[in-house]
Amino acid sequence: MAASRGRLAAVMATAALTAGLVGGCGAVHKAMDCVHTADTIADSVTDLQQAVENAAHDPGRADSALDAIEKNVRKIGDKTDDADVNKAVDDLNKAVGHVRTAIRDGDRTPDVGPVTDAAGELTKGCAK
């Protein structure tokens, strides 16, 4: 899984660099920040999936993974004016909120699929 994320990051970096050649250095820097943060979010989503699978042994781990996702999503949201990225940020925030609420309400196996899907959309938005 890490290898596929690495390949995806390389593709996104290439796309960002290509866009930068057309749009200037500021665009490259923003795109690279977005790509890096999206990759960090992907790692946090993986942590969340593992935490949910092991919730009986360490219920606090899911909260930590959700906190990490929210922190990194804020970084992207604060730095972008791209409509697709902003929509993905909003969708990811909503999905994280739903998982957090489900856990708070006692659901030991909340559906993290929407978090994974929204993180994927964010990655796509950063790569364009």
Give the CATH superfamily of 28-127: Nucleotidyltransferases  domain 2 (1.20.120.330)
Six token digits for residue 69: 């996702």
In this prediction the pTM is 0.70
Six token digits for residue 95: 């999905």
**Alpha carbon distance 70, 16 (integer Å):** 23
**Taking the chain (128 residues) in consecutive chunks of 10 residues, what is each chunk's mean pLDDT?**
49 46 56 77 83 75 85 81 86 92 87 90 80
